[in-house]
Amino acid sequence: MEYVQARLQARYGAHPGEAQWRQLGAHRDIAAYLAAARAMPFADWLAGIGDAAGPHEIERSLRRHWRRTVAEVAHWMPAEWGPATRWVAGLIDLPAFVHRERGGLLPKGAETDPHLAVLAGGKASLEQWQTHWLRLWPEDREDEHAELLQLTARLRRHLADFARCDAGAAWEARRALRGRVVLAFRRAALRPVAALLFLLLLALDLERLRAELMLRALRRRRSP
């Protein structure tokens, strides 16, 4: 895990800080926002997103970055933890599956995404996803299993609380979660859970970037 920790720490150190997020937030135009972001640690996250990108292009590009990073982290991990780490990539699809099961329409452009194209005939839930994930954990690693179960329990509590938040409290709830995850990541050095905590931090940052980009892309679309 020494090799894994070194790679995770380097990637974590390159993540944008709050001052950089605030600096970017001053750019209301998406082209100016992207230009500023490319000069910051966001550059790799923006691959495939041009100045004229719309919501669907933004969504697909950020999803690709997520999957690519999960695969990379799984490749770093000890062999016995590779399958469980790779399975985390599918979390990004769960909201769409749940929406589809409740009778919602497929997202526009889903047919061009090989992962979303199976929605028409597929079913999935967080419980089903977690049940399979548990089966992928290496056997005889009770200490690591306990840490992972504690992590999933904390996330479930956050999701339950988040669902009750109004718009004003939602961002504060996410920011508080990120702060707790940062502390947990620092304490989990040299343990498998560190990789999953790093991926959770990436997911939170990508969610924030997606919101910022979508807001500006939609604002541009409404402009005369």
Does residue 75 or residue 165 have the better pLDDT? 75
State residue 15 phi and psi, 5-degree precision.
-70, 145
CA-based torsion, 23, 33, 210, 114: positive or negative: negative
Total-model pTM: 0.85
Helix %, strand %, coil % of the chain (to 5)? 75, 0, 25
Mean pLDDT of the chain: 83
Q: Are 129 and 98 in contact (CB under 8 A)?
A: no
pLDDT tens across 133-158, in order? 888 888 866 777 788 888 888 888 88
User: CB within 8 A of 111, min separation 6: which ones?
Assistant: 117
Indicate whether 74 pLDDT > 90.
yes
Q: Are 96 and 107 in contact (CB under 8 A)?
A: yes
Mean pLDDT, range 62-89, rounded to an integer = 92
Indicate whether 123 pLDDT > 70.
no
What is the widest separation between alpha-carbon atoms in the chain? 62
- Tokens coding 141: 């690693």
Q: How far apart are CA 38 and CA 145, in angstroms?
A: 39
pLDDT tens across 189-212, in order? 888 889 999 999 999 999 999 999
* H helices, E strands: number in the chain: 10, 0
Residue count of the chain:
224
